[in-house]
């Protein structure tokens, strides 16, 4: 079983590469953004709870996100592994994920950061914003603010996972196929 945490700043290619990884390794891709949207749209108990925090301008507590992840993992008891995309974002979330997985007799196998220069990522996101309709991809200032948030909160997870010998970094620059090949070379060792 491979359980993978995929990191990277917005625009680094996490979603694109998750599609490749899902197919090649028969893994389930769990995007916390997708989980939130699904639970809110379908008015599940967790979705209603999350929305109540969001409507008040508050951050959704980690436990609500963990509960959503747990429900999603429980839906697939025969899965060969999971790609966690968008979670964890902080060390406390990483610790909570480890505890949750230990309770399932699972663990994170590897974490991979897709690395790319900020200026390249800004160009990617502005281009994506032209077709995606996402307003947060259409404003360079908002994009750079998201990068700063990543640098402050998520980048420190590198040390957390390095201490467990689970952190790896690859270049997120190049064609989709080139990046996918780099990922495969790394994952084929596990």
Active-site annotation holds for 128 = yes
160 pLDDT band, cuts 50/70/90, is very high
Residue 55 has pLDDT above 90, yes or no: no
Mention every residue, 6+ apart, whose C-beta is less than 8 A from residue 92. Answer: 62
Residue 59 has pLDDT above 80, yes or no: no
Active-site annotation holds for 89 = yes
Q: How far is CA 22 from the centre of its chain?
A: 14
At 30 the pLDDT is 93
At 83 the pLDDT is 96
Active-site annotation holds for 182 = no
- Over residues 84-88, the mean pLDDT reads 89
User: pLDDT tens across 129-155, in order?
Assistant: 888 877 888 889 989 988 988 888 888
Q: Which CATH architecture does the domain made up of 2-187 adopt?
A: 3-Layer(aba) Sandwich (3.40)
pTM for the structure as a whole? 0.85
Active-site annotation holds for 134 = yes
Q: Determine the Cα–Cα distance for residues 136 and 157; give it in Å rounded to an integer.
A: 24
> Residues 51, 123, 146, 166: which is the catalytic one?
146
């Amino acid at each position: 079983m491979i359980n993978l945490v995929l990191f990277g700043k917005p625009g680094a290619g996490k979603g694109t590469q998750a599609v490749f990884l899902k197919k090649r390794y028969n893994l389930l891709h769990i995007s916390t953004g997708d989980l939130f949207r699904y639970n809110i749209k379908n008015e599940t108990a967790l979705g209603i709870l999350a929305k109540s925090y969001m409507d008040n301008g508050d951050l959704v507590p980690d436990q609500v996100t963990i509960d959503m992840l747990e429900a999603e993992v429980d839906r697939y008891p025969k899965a060969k592994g999971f790609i966690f995309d968008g979670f964890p974002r902080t060390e406390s979330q990483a610790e909570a994920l480890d505890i949750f997985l230990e309770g399932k007799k699972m663990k994170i196998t590897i974490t991979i950061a897709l690395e790319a220069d900020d200026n390249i990522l800004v160009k990617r996101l502005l281009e994506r914003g032209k077709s995606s309709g996402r307003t947060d991809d259409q404003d360079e200032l908002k994009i750079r603010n998201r990068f700063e948030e990543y640098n402050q909160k998520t980048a420190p997870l590198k040390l957390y996972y390095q201490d467990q010998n689970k952190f790896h970094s690859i270049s997120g620059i190049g064609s989709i196929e080139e990046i996918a090949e780099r990922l495969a070379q790394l994952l084929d060792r596990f």
